[in-house]
Structure 1
Amino acid sequence: MSDQGSAGGGAVGVLDSDVPSFVSYDPAGGGEVATFPVMTAARVRGVVDEARQAAGWWGALSWAERERRLLRWAGVITRGREELCALVHRENGKPRDDAFLEVFLAVEHIGWAAGHARRVLRSRRVGTGMLMANHAASLEYQPLGVVGVIGPWNYPIFTPVGSIAYALAAGNAVVFKPSEYTTAIGEWLVDAFGRANPDAPHQVLRLVTGTGETGAALCQSGVDKIAFTGSARTGRKVMAACAPSLTPVLMECGGKDAMIVAADANLEQAADAALWGAMSNAGQTCVGIERVYVVDSVKDKFIAELSARIQKLALKPGDGPDAAYGPMTMPAQVDIVRRHIDDAIAKGATAIVGGAEAVKAPYVEPTVLVDVPEDASAVCEETFGPTITVKGVKDLEEAVVLANATDYGLGSSVYARNGAMAVARRLRSGMTSVNAVIAFAGIPGLPFGGVGESGFGRIHGADGLREFTRPKAITRRRWSTPFEPTTFARNPKTIVILEKYAMVRYGRKK
């Protein structure tokens, strides 16, 4: 990666000294990774207009041809994984192996979207019912046209690909605005698509770069839908920018995910999963575990297991190959984590691991807070750092009530041998893993999304493909009948026949 933005997708180009620019930095060492232009609203509209022309060509391709080109993209990403993982480590901060897990999940989703689009979205016949029995009915899913994707910095490959791949598979062109903290990674992905399809007459995946103003410009550029991933606060701004043009939006926002641990749970597995859910990627995971509610009878054992595993695994952040996780990618997040820890301790919580001294910017060491009051910011607000709160509950009923006592509703986890599925169904979240954490994100066929402050709409799976289409209903009269109901010349016997039918089928049910 050069120190200047390359011509990724034909959208960035060589930097002009008269054009405002921004720099993405290495969060660990602070060095510059790359410089990119802050694209104006006019330039963003120009990119969208170019994508509109590309959408016509791309949408007219056969399912098989789009699948072939998407799998080429997955191939380029897979073969270039070492370069891409090194770039993720440098610009995002996560360890190389965690970067590869993100790459692997991304190409799995590309493959699923490419391979299942035809089955999910092809035209299908629909039953017509008695009233319209002389008609044939069909339903098909047509591409929207151009989809704008605003990506996050915490999972700069996996998360945006969850929108990009499904939108492309559905026949749309995509204009991608990555986070200003991980723009070089976004540029790499767009360039990879171009390298995978050098024979394409149009660029169907294009890049725009900039800060929040560029994202707002994309919302107002005439795209047919915006897929956004980020905080609920920023999500509201995106929705406001889209409102004047009634541009539909898909919102994948934050979470305050809870894990419930029953008395009969495998405590070793639960503790191990809680640590991964809370600490991996420095806790910067929207579906990471931030709260644990454990039944009182096994609370002490669970806490002891957590502490022992942190010591045994020597969980420490850093930039080297032995680090369990990396730095906080966004510098301002360090202050939020510090505030949450300080507030919890001030309100009576105990830090059995870490604590206030664990915050050593740009790193935060693992912190386990016990008996945090429910009104503390560490319980009420999204922390997005390598911390976890643990609270004892008298039973699973109380655990469910507390887990659901949040405005968020993204992911959740249940550890139990008996009754786990019943508990999972009662949790107010878009996704739940039983005896695991975040497993749903690794299954391409499952929809991903939340409720409440966690957003709405779904990526991944069949629902994710349909999210980037408009349903088109078509009816066709097959023959005429003397008993047409929708005409002023209607035969009086028509209503008599329909009334008798209604009575036979429904009128006798009580």
Structure 2
Amino acid sequence: MQLLSQQFINNQWVASKGTRMLDVMNPYREERIAQVTAGDASDVDAAVHAARKAQPAWQALGGVARAAYLEGFADALETRRESLITLSATNNGKPLMEAGIDLDDAIACYRYYAKQAKALDTRQGEPVNVEMEGVEARTYHDPVGVVGLITPWNFPLVTSAWKLAPALAAGCTVVLKPSEVTPLPEQVLADIALEINLPAGVLNLLNGDGEGIGAPLTRHPGVDKISFTGSNRVGEAVMQAASARTASVSLELGGKSPIIVMEDADPEQAADWVMAGIYFNAGQICSATSRLLVHENVAEALYAALAERMDALTLGDPLAEGTDLGPMTSAKQRETVQRYLNIAAQEGLTAVRDATHRTLPDQGYFLAPTLYRDVPVESRLWQEEIFGPVLCARSVVSEAEAIALADDSAYGLAATVISGDPERAKRIGRKLKAGSIWYNSEQLVLPETAWGGFKRSGIGRELGPWGLSAYLEVKHVIGPA
């Protein structure tokens, strides 16, 4: 069993001031594989101090020099590819294929922001067109400063990359808090920092939970910005803590995303895209298209196609080749999803497929892939984020009804539209209130395109140039020409 009782501060592994230890589990074997320190406010204070001291020199390096370090992170992750895939599958419960996607997307993100860092140098001092004669104005982009990054347990490596890469590219220094549920993959970032000779204090990594690390980090007066991905409940607390000192926040929160299948869609092809949108990572994905709106003319054919595919899913050991669906990442998450399944039973929802249709593995935090049809819009399962392999469906009679029901949600993170007419699919997508809308495809998340949502799905955007801008302040210098 691995014991992680130290924190990575100022390029050194140092003893944590925290006295509690947290268990890290293998969700398939249901056994403890590590313990990490819970950390405390003293650890946060030391890390923030190191980051604050390092920030001016890191900014002064310039974008080209910072880009070389970002390429170093990408290269080092590539050399560790197989071991990190295995570690992610072991700690998170992802099948090997999904763990590979997580890592490859992270590598692509570091490489993308290396290019953005280089381009940032060319943007400094750009002239502004002003109408007043005899006056000139120039634009500069300065880093926010010290940022606290709090990442979730469902996609550890890629969500860290989405925050860490643009923050470093912008010239910020960082205190990173991985999830205490899946902290093991992200420990490699500290090792890489030493390997590539990242200047001391630029990256500090603190292990711990919300009580020991998360809350003190969001309240710390030396932190200029917090970027958080996770639940709405915690995100609201982060926002309140940051507001006390008017600190900037980026929040990527929940989702209850729709997937619309129109009457001109091929049910067989649509079924593949529906499956990918809800059962990837056992449904533990913020953008999971967990509300299916299918035109009544193709509803029965689609339900039949989905049932066939659900029956064919292989549930089992994430490390075994051919596993399609791993366990829930934690016993707590399995209990959370099970409560929704109990509500479904109480509400009398009609299951096309659920636990009564298959035998689950003897060990592991497994839940059966589930599909309910004709779900009332008043149902809690239709309205609330479940974060598990549970799809709720209902039929619609028109395009207008599909759009109205899709937008009838407190969230607006993502959506998918499937139609035999691509132009129609794009037109429908353009009307939806969501940050990312796919048409006739799986969920393609690209480093060049923004990630974030409307309404209760959060504040701000990650990825693309917008992700870099989240860690920059705009400054104008104005005077006589």
TM-score normalised by the chain length of structure 1: 0.88
Which aligned runs of 4 or more in structure 1 are off by greater than 4 angstroms?
Answer: 9-12, 14-18, 355-361
Aligned to 1:211: 209
Decide whether aligned partners of structure 1 residues 359 and 398 sit closer, same or farther in structure 2, where only a CA change above 3 A counts. Answer: farther
Decide whether aligned partners of structure 1 residues 375 and 12 sit closer, same or farther in structure 2, where only a CA change above 3 A counts. Answer: farther
Decide whether aligned partners of structure 1 residues 16 and 160 sit closer, same or farther in structure 2, where only a CA change above 3 A counts. Answer: closer
1:400 partnered with 2:403: yes
Shift of 1:463: 0.5
Check whether the contact 1:9–1:194 (CA below 8 A) recurs between aligned residues. Answer: no
Query: Which protein is bigger by CA-based radius of gyration?
Result: 1
The equivalent position to 2:365 in structure 1, one of 345, 357, 362, is 362
Inter-partner Cα distance in structure 2 for 1:473 and 1:165: 25
Secondary structure of 2:381's counterpart equals helix
Aligned to 2:287: 287
Shift of 1:177: 0.4
1:220 partnered with 2:219: yes
Inter-partner Cα distance in structure 1 for 2:359 and 2:203: 40
Decide whether aligned partners of structure 1 residues 103 and 338 sit closer, same or farther in structure 2, where only a CA change above 3 A counts. Answer: same
Decide whether aligned partners of structure 1 residues 140 and 64 sit closer, same or farther in structure 2, where only a CA change above 3 A counts. Answer: same
Shift of 1:14: 6.0
Alignment of 1:367-406 (within 5 A): 367-406=370-409
Shift of 1:234: 0.8
Shift of 1:253: 0.3
Inter-partner Cα distance in structure 2 for 1:10 and 1:177: 15
1:60-84 per-position Cα deviation (integer Å, ceiling 9, x unaligned): 1122111111101110111001121
User: Which deviates more from structure 2 when the two are superposed, residues 430-439 or residues 145-154?
Assistant: 430-439
Decide whether aligned partners of structure 1 residues 249 and 17 sit closer, same or farther in structure 2, where only a CA change above 3 A counts. Answer: closer
Shift of 1:129: 3.5
Mark the runs of 5 or more structure 2 residues left unpaired by the alignment: none
Check whether the contact 1:341–1:356 (CA below 8 A) recurs between aligned residues. Answer: no
Alignment of 1:165-314 (within 5 A): 165-195=165-195, 197-198=196-197, 200-213=198-211, 214-221=213-220, 222-311=222-311, 313-314=312-313
Mark the runs of 5 or more structure 1 residues left unpaired by the alignment: 479-510
TM-score normalised by the chain length of structure 2: 0.93
Aligned to 1:323: 323
Aligned to 2:124: 123
Check whether the contact 2:64–2:117 (CA below 8 A) recurs between aligned residues. Answer: no
Inter-partner Cα distance in structure 2 for 1:13 and 1:192: 13
Check whether the contact 2:92–2:153 (CA below 8 A) recurs between aligned residues. Answer: yes
1:266-292 per-position Cα deviation (integer Å, ceiling 9, x unaligned): 322221111111111111000111011
Alignment root-mean-square deviation, CA: 2.1
Secondary structure of 1:147's counterpart equals strand
The equivalent position to 1:469 in structure 2, one of 464, 468, 472, is 472
User: Which deviates more from structure 2 when the two are superposed, residues 98-107 or residues 182-191?
Assistant: 182-191
Decide whether aligned partners of structure 1 residues 20 and 10 sit closer, same or farther in structure 2, where only a CA change above 3 A counts. Answer: farther
Check whether the contact 2:9–2:46 (CA below 8 A) recurs between aligned residues. Answer: no
Secondary structure of 1:3's counterpart equals strand
Check whether the contact 1:260–1:294 (CA below 8 A) recurs between aligned residues. Answer: yes
Decide whether aligned partners of structure 1 residues 72 and 376 sit closer, same or farther in structure 2, where only a CA change above 3 A counts. Answer: same
Check whether the contact 2:140–2:475 (CA below 8 A) recurs between aligned residues. Answer: yes
User: Which deviates more from structure 2 when the two are superposed, residues 390-399 or residues 317-326?
Assistant: 317-326
1:119-157 per-position Cα deviation (integer Å, ceiling 9, x unaligned): 357225344443x22211111210111111000000011
The equivalent position to 2:441 in structure 1, one of 436, 439, 452, is 436
Aligned to 1:502: none
Decide whether aligned partners of structure 1 residues 96 and 357 sit closer, same or farther in structure 2, where only a CA change above 3 A counts. Answer: same
Aligned to 1:97: 97
